[in-house]
Structure 1
Amino acid sequence: PAVITAGEQKEAEAVIELFAKWLPTQNNLIHNRQEDYYEGIERTLVIIKPDNWRYASSRPGMIIDMFSRSGLRIVAIKVLKMSVSQAVRFYGPTKDGLKNRLAPIYGMQARELLEREFNIPLTEEIEKTLTESFGDLYSEEQFERIVEFMAGIKTYERPRDEWDEPGLVKSMILVYEGKDAIGKIRTILGATDPTKAAAGTIRREFGSNICINAAHASDSVESAVREMGILEVEKNHLGGVLRHYVANR
């Protein structure tokens, strides 16, 4: 059978106790023991982002169903509340890109706004100063919004020594495995900007904007390895959840 479930509450409790004892010894990531299996095989990380969990809906299941059309195997899955530390490390590589792309735009807009407001011409040197101050500040705030979206809180809203604590919002992470896993998953996912994503892709169907765009997928094998390390996909936390349930039921 594809799914096994208990027939009655007593049976369910017994199974939960069994898994509470057994799961902590298990790796969360499935490994194939066949030596030549991994020739040409890729793994990629997918995050079903917090916007899908704000209220009870079928969206997460629909997204998984769309990814499943790739024919790839799911070899790891877990629900987590991304910590501030994880969010900062995970999206850290985008920070310089945000600064380089956004700061000049908002520096120029700040110059134009001041020129209109005060009816005086401003030099390119002043625009450069505005870029290095207001533009950089705006870019930093955009990064904070990404952290807030994924962890539920901005970095400056939580003491530094609490950054490793679980965040306030839920995500689901999955690892898909198979030939050309990176390309297949990203094709189904669609472009970062939902308005530019192809029809029928996940982001076109469920995304709202560049940040709130339903799901994340690794863009390379190297990125997948880095991201899986940050989110500790191999660590099995379900055993602890079940032990807590058993102890407090």
Structure 2
Amino acid sequence: MERTLIIVKPDGVQRGLIGEVIARLERRGLKVVGLKMMQISRELAEQHYGVHRERPFFASLVEYITSAPVVVGVLEGPKAIEVTRATVGATNPVDAAPGTIRGDFGLTIGRNLIHASDGAESAEHEINLFFRPEELISYERAVDPWIVEE
């Protein structure tokens, strides 16, 4: 099983979309194995967005993600990264397909509601930034055999 990180960004929290975002991902069949609300510190934001440090938009990314509470979660399932990103939609909501989270709720790139890890390496790195191993819970759901082929 693969794991991925999501962050319901400040705009998603402020707009009251936490439940909608998580529900859409759960309805796809993904399992929530870690979830918490937090205020991201400047230091953590700089680590999280470190790959963009030299880009002109780095400061605004850090400023925005630290501006209000977020909800951080770890999802698990077959191809969790790919499934999550497909459900989230394109980074620019204008390009996101209707039915995706960003396609249905977003208007601009700077307020696109949710972050989702873009690959296995970034998922592992991001999960380790936001969660200690003991905060992630492995468990079986009674519905899993109806979602995942063995």
Say yes or no: TM over 0.5.
yes
Question: Which structure's CA Rg is the greater one?
Answer: 1
Rounded to whole Å, the distance in 1 between the matches of 2:69 and 2:133 is 18
TM-score for the superposition, normalised by structure 2: 0.83
Q: Is 1:175 the equivalent of 2:133?
A: no
Question: Structure 2 stretches of 5 or more lacking a match?
Answer: 136-150
TM-score for the superposition, normalised by structure 1: 0.52
Q: Is 1:144 the equivalent of 2:33?
A: no
Q: Which amino acid aligns with 1:76?
A: G
The share of aligned pairs that are identical, in percent, is 37
Task: Give the aligned partner of residue 223 of structure 1.
Answer: 122
Task: Let me know the Cα RMSD of the aligned residues.
Answer: 1.5
Question: Structure 1 stretches of 5 or more lacking a match?
Answer: 1-40, 99-138, 153-168, 237-249
Q: Is 1:189 the equivalent of 2:111?
A: no
Task: Give the aligned partner of residue 91 of structure 1.
Answer: 49
Secondary structure at the counterpart of residue 194 of structure 1: coil
Q: Is the 8 A contact 2:33 2:75 kept in 1?
A: yes
Q: Which protein has the bigger helix share?
A: 1
1:211 Cα deviation (Å)?
2.2
Secondary structure at the counterpart of residue 176 of structure 1: strand
Q: Is the 8 A contact 1:195 1:209 kept in 2?
A: yes
Rounded to whole Å, the distance in 2 between the matches of 1:235 and 1:80 is 17
1:206 Cα deviation (Å)?
1.7
Q: Is 1:209 the equivalent of 2:108?
A: yes
Rounded to whole Å, the distance in 1 between the matches of 2:35 and 2:108 is 26
1:210-245 CA distance string (max 9 Å, x none): 121000110111111111121235465xxxxxxxxx
Task: Give the aligned partner of residue 19 of structure 2.
Answer: 61
Pick from 31, 34, 49 the counterpart of residue 76 of structure 1.
Answer: 34
Q: Is the 8 A contact 2:13 2:71 kept in 1?
A: no
Distance 1:235 1:51, change over 3 A: farther
1:29-52 CA distance string (max 9 Å, x none): xxxxxxxxxxxx100001111112
Q: Is the 8 A contact 1:75 1:176 kept in 2?
A: yes
1:54 Cα deviation (Å)?
2.3
Rounded to whole Å, the distance in 1 between the matches of 2:107 and 2:49 is 19
Q: Is the 8 A contact 1:76 1:233 kept in 2?
A: no
1:165-215 CA distance string (max 9 Å, x none): xxxx10001111111101100000000000001111001112232121000
